Chains A and B, each alone.
Chain A
């Protein structure tokens, strides 16, 4: 045993020596790839959907070309992104769809994250059917008639019921409870990732097949696959408080930005710019479509948008 203790002590003390003695602050560690050639770096978190990529691409372009920063981007899911933000691994999160639990913990209690204001885009989650199908069967757009169409939405995966396709596990969803509480003859099938969900929707659309899916606006895919929302029982404040008993539609959420608290205070021009960053749904979709459909790199797409919208972004820098 003695050898092992000595070894452990040696290991710990050499660790301490290597990194400088004393306490190591876990909240003050940037990426090893940051500041590689002596430039100031801002680290932005990107979420897996294209809208979030567009925000980041434009912010990155302006930070790099107008303000002289170097920008690192990191792709993380939403909840881990909050955690990363509180630790200073990323400096800003540009599009949050509402995480009350995280907000309470990090913004209100620990004060390690500071609100960064509105993004200017309002998000909405809902159930959608392709417009080509809704035109043929106009009454499908009310939830009360969904059971009538269940067998048309059937897939091998949903068995004898209709399929309601959900996407990435990181998204906010009440769909399982909704199907149960509204007594719908449907099965929620999780595509597991947005990429899989989009691919499947495009395949269905190519064949003009009917489908019912969880989806959200703003989203570039609407331009490629026009979809119509299905009316659910109207949303009222607090009707989604108990996740087991939800029987109402999803709210309209003004999307929020959040900054690491230290960065918000001492982030200089970059922090001031990110706080003022605010654009419209149309702006975001324009960039998203360039990235996702025309397969431009986010950088080229951002450049194209920035070149043609000077008046919008000049305001963010003043």
Chain B
């Protein structure tokens, strides 16, 4: 219950809890009174003292030189990385050639029939429509390249994730060791580890698959472990009493019982892998991502959108189909399901063979709808009319300017003007009041690590942007979420919009964002909001809807107005969900800091991009590490310790 002290004291809170918060703060003040003068006397400086930094550029530059010089001769590369790389290339090639051989009609039929078997007729039609749309947009071959890459990357991620999850689910020690590792894998911006991966594997598909696995394996591992740990103890005892061995128990009871979590893990892994498709293009993975990236170079939003839509369609289809499969798991198995699969298989073979005989394996060029031009015209029109000179409310350029001068600048300047120990104190106080002394210690250490890495100033710059973006995201997200929770129609209408926002590659909307807000930190914040908003809206809506209807009815019968109900019943009861929304907002905003670097966000995001572009391991990795530390600190400062157990889900 200590968690409730997080909020400003409210009437009705037990006095004891308030006391504990005050005690903590008093203790902290005492510690500060002793330590601050000491620190100030030794290292009197506003920003992080240079005496307390460690320069990593030398060893990192040496490491990268060593890799380049030994890549062609050292046994580690010849007998290990080389083979890993070969296997990846062979696997992707095999899938790709198969997809080409089956032809567009065959692939569409295969997708539709699999969807029909696991998820029903409606999704089967949707799947077929999605595949045909990819062809109509002129993106058939790139879509198949991305699909081949995804199949291999997802299989590898699932294999790695299940192995890690088994270890974490079966042994507490492994769980403790793995948890921070998984956290890091997810928070570390992909750009930061693209560079080391590229150094080892070279640009291209192997590096892209490896980078995707790093990013997409954690949810699989988390959910596997969660599923194993959550297995019903009674069932397990019953199985044990039958005299089965540990391995039998695992295979016959624990894993089958964890089916639902495993499937949810698969779903999450697929989504995360797809979101890497574009980032992987930066290191030459080809496919749809490469088309988006190349369109960006010639400032062609329409072409980028034409390549972005298939990514969205793939994501939505895969999400719905795996989701539906998960829901069906609990139900009774249908009779004759074997026969259904046989019919499906026969259908695919028939279509594929027919396609082959007709000689229509490649998507016909004449069946392409060019959307690039109208889209570009629409974007031009929009930016021309909104950028400036809109009567009364001003153009978007003015908003961006005011936002930069009135919000971002003061925040950055005041953060950077604080003495370094002051920042640490604030972090400690926030984290301790909301959690335990352990969380406070972690938060302070994470912040201190940023100083030690020597990127104190840019990190505070990034922090100010993140805080501003999260604040706007929460205000808008809560408002929309509340509205959606109260109207079914609005929620249904929002669903596809949120899907698109969540899965559309960020590169697609970079240009419109710059065209509207100019170059600088404001468009970076805008891009972050677009990316983080859907999750916040979803979690808020869901949280509010899950509030016990009995409580609502009770307050309604007491004559509360709908506004009173919202404020005094729904919001307080949905508190855990709202806190989760805050946390997810932070994580997602932080995840696009690097994208912000591409539109003038500067600070850490720019450094990460710079590191990749210049092959500068030191700049890129240090900035990436600082982003991880910021994430860790923000997580500890905003989340009461209690919620932690749910994180995997």
Nearest-CB distance from B131 to chain A (Å)? Answer: 19
Decide: B613 and A168 in contact? CB cutoff 8 A. yes
Chain A count of residues within 8 A CB distance of the other chain: 64
Decide: B205 and A32 in contact? CB cutoff 8 A. yes
Decide: A83 and B296 in contact? CB cutoff 8 A. no
Chain B residues near A295 (CB, 8 Å)?
A: 298, 300, 302-303, 372-373, 376
Q: Considering only CB atoms, which chain B residue lies closest to A15 in the complex?
A: B83
Nearest-CB distance from A45 to chain B (Å)? Answer: 8
Q: Within the assembled complex, what's the spacing in Å between the Cα atoms of A170 and B564? A: 55
The verdict on A241 contacting chain B, using a C-beta distance below 8 Å, is no
Contact of A50 among B297, B387, B610 (CB under 8 A): B297
The verdict on A1 contacting chain B, using a C-beta distance below 8 Å, is no
Decide: A74 and B203 in contact? CB cutoff 8 A. yes
If A15-B84, A74-B204, A195-B510 touch, whether A89 touches B284 (CB-CB below 8 Å) is yes
Nearest-CB distance from A38 to chain B (Å)? Answer: 11
Chain A residues near B77 (CB, 8 Å)?
A: 26
Decide: B87 and A196 in contact? CB cutoff 8 A. no
Q: Which segment, of B93-101, B260-268, B443-451, B539-547, faces chain A?
A: B93-101
Q: Which segment, of B223-231, B238-246, B475-483, B592-600, faces chain A?
A: B592-600
Nearest-CB distance from A63 to chain B (Å)? Answer: 18
Q: Within the assembled complex, what's the spacing in Å between the Cα atoms of A76 and B289? A: 13
Chain B residues near A190 (CB, 8 Å)?
A: 600, 602, 606
Decide: A12 and B80 in contact? CB cutoff 8 A. yes
Task: Write out, one digit per residue, whether chain A residues 197-229 have a CB within 8 A of any chain B CB (1) or not (0).
Answer: 111100100110000000000000000000000
Q: Considering only CB atoms, which chain B residue lies closest to A109 in the complex?
A: B69
Chain B residues near A18 (CB, 8 Å)?
A: 83, 86-87, 90
If A32-B148, A74-B290, A295-B373 touch, whether A195 touches B519 (CB-CB below 8 Å) is no
If A24-B85, A26-B71, A84-B203 touch, whether A32 touches B79 (CB-CB below 8 Å) is no
Which residues of A26-40 are within 8 A (CB) of B? 26-27, 29-33, 36-37
Nearest-CB distance from B64 to chain A (Å)? Answer: 10
Task: Write out, one digit per residue, whether chain B residues 193-233 have a CB within 8 A of any chain A CB (1) or not (0).
Answer: 00000110111111000000000000000000000000000
Decide: A189 and B284 in contact? CB cutoff 8 A. no
Q: Considering only CB atoms, which chain B residue lies closest to A34 in the complex?
A: B93
Chain A residues near B648 (CB, 8 Å)?
A: none
Nearest-CB distance from B606 to chain A (Å)? Answer: 6
Chain B residues near A79 (CB, 8 Å)?
A: 613-615
Q: Within the assembled complex, what's the spacing in Å between the Cα atoms of A198 and B300? A: 11
Decide: B519 and A197 in contact? CB cutoff 8 A. yes
Chain A residues near B293 (CB, 8 Å)?
A: 75
Decide: A31 and B286 in contact? CB cutoff 8 A. yes
Decide: A169 and B514 in contact? CB cutoff 8 A. no
Which residues of B577-603 are within 8 A (CB) of A? 596-602
Chain B residues near A15 (CB, 8 Å)?
A: 80, 83-84, 87
Decide: A193 and B96 in contact? CB cutoff 8 A. no
Chain B residues near A192 (CB, 8 Å)?
A: 519, 596-602, 605-606, 609
Chain B residues near A73 (CB, 8 Å)?
A: 294
Q: Within the assembled complex, what's the spacing in Å between the Cα atoms of A87 and B202? A: 7
Q: Within the assembled complex, what's the spacing in Å between the Cα atoms of A75 and B544? A: 46
Nearest-CB distance from A79 to chain B (Å)? Answer: 4
Chain B residues near A269 (CB, 8 Å)?
A: none
Task: Write out, one digit per residue, whether chain B residues 617-645 have a CB within 8 A of any chain A CB (1) or not (0).
Answer: 00000000000000000000000000000
Decide: B286 and A74 in contact? CB cutoff 8 A. yes
Decide: B85 and A75 in contact? CB cutoff 8 A. no
The verdict on A233 contacting chain B, using a C-beta distance below 8 Å, is no
Task: Write out, one digit per residue, whether chain B residues 506-526 have a CB within 8 A of any chain A CB (1) or not (0).
Answer: 000011001100111111000
Decide: A19 and B79 in contact? CB cutoff 8 A. no
Decide: B86 and A193 in contact? CB cutoff 8 A. no
Nearest-CB distance from B191 to chain A (Å)? Answer: 11
Q: Within the assembled complex, what's the spacing in Å between the Cα atoms of A205 and B400? A: 18
Task: Write out, one digit per residue, whether chain B residues 355-387 have a CB within 8 A of any chain A CB (1) or not (0).
Answer: 000000000000000001100100000011001
The verdict on B346 contacting chain A, using a C-beta distance below 8 Å, is no
Decide: B613 and A78 in contact? CB cutoff 8 A. yes
The verdict on B273 contacting chain A, using a C-beta distance below 8 Å, is no
Task: Write out, one digit per residue, whether chain A residues 39-80 have a CB within 8 A of any chain B CB (1) or not (0).
Answer: 000000010111001000000000000000000111111111
Report the tally of A-B residue pairs with Cβ distances under 8 A: 225
The verdict on A159 contacting chain B, using a C-beta distance below 8 Å, is yes
Task: Write out, one digit per residue, whether chain A residues 132-166 have a CB within 8 A of any chain B CB (1) or not (0).
Answer: 00000000000000000000000111010000010
Q: Considering only CB atoms, which chain A residue lies closest to B512 in the complex?
A: A199
Task: Write out, one digit per residue, whether chain B residues 23-52 have a CB within 8 A of any chain A CB (1) or not (0).
Answer: 000000000000000000000000000000
Chain A residues near B153 (CB, 8 Å)?
A: none
If A48-B297, A80-B203 touch, whether A33 touches B82 (CB-CB below 8 Å) is no
Q: Considering only CB atoms, which chain B residue lies closest to A88 in the complex?
A: B202
The verdict on A191 contacting chain B, using a C-beta distance below 8 Å, is yes
The verdict on A252 contacting chain B, using a C-beta distance below 8 Å, is no
Decide: B82 and A25 in contact? CB cutoff 8 A. yes
Decide: A24 and B79 in contact? CB cutoff 8 A. yes
Chain B residues near A206 (CB, 8 Å)?
A: 384, 387
Q: Within the assembled complex, what's the spacing in Å between the Cα atoms of A28 and B268? A: 35
The verdict on B474 contacting chain A, using a C-beta distance below 8 Å, is no
Contact of B599 among A77, A165, A193, A198 (CB under 8 A): A193
The verdict on B283 contacting chain A, using a C-beta distance below 8 Å, is yes
The verdict on A304 contacting chain B, using a C-beta distance below 8 Å, is no
Chain A residues near B597 (CB, 8 Å)?
A: 169, 192
Chain B residues near A24 (CB, 8 Å)?
A: 78-79, 82-83, 85-86
Nearest-CB distance from B603 to chain A (Å)? Answer: 10
If A79-B613, A80-B283, A295-B373 touch, whether A191 touches B71 (CB-CB below 8 Å) is no
Decide: A84 and B202 in contact? CB cutoff 8 A. yes
Decide: B405 and A196 in contact? CB cutoff 8 A. no
Chain A residues near B204 (CB, 8 Å)?
A: 29, 31, 74, 84, 89
Contact of B615 among A32, A83, A191 (CB under 8 A): A83
Nearest-CB distance from B556 to chain A (Å)? Answer: 48
Chain A CB count within 10 A is highest, among B93, B302, B373, B514, for B514
The verdict on A239 contacting chain B, using a C-beta distance below 8 Å, is no
Contact of B296 among A26, A193, A200 (CB under 8 A): A193
Q: Considering only CB atoms, which chain A residue lies closest to B376 in the complex?
A: A295
Decide: B609 and A32 in contact? CB cutoff 8 A. no
Decide: A32 and B82 in contact? CB cutoff 8 A. no
Q: List 29 A-B contacts (CB under 8 A).
A: A16-B83, A26-B72, A26-B81, A26-B85, A27-B72, A30-B89, A32-B90, A32-B148, A36-B96, A50-B297, A50-B298, A75-B294, A76-B284, A83-B202, A90-B203, A90-B284, A155-B401, A155-B518, A156-B401, A157-B521, A169-B614, A189-B600, A190-B602, A195-B514, A199-B519, A203-B515, A292-B299, A292-B300, A295-B298
The 10 closest A-B pairs by CB, nearest first: A24-B82, A170-B613, A32-B93, A157-B520, A169-B610, A156-B404, A79-B615, A23-B78, A19-B86, A74-B284
Known: A80-B203, A192-B598, A194-B297; 8 extra A-B contacts, CB below 8 A, are: A12-B80, A31-B286, A33-B145, A33-B286, A37-B100, A46-B294, A165-B519, A189-B602
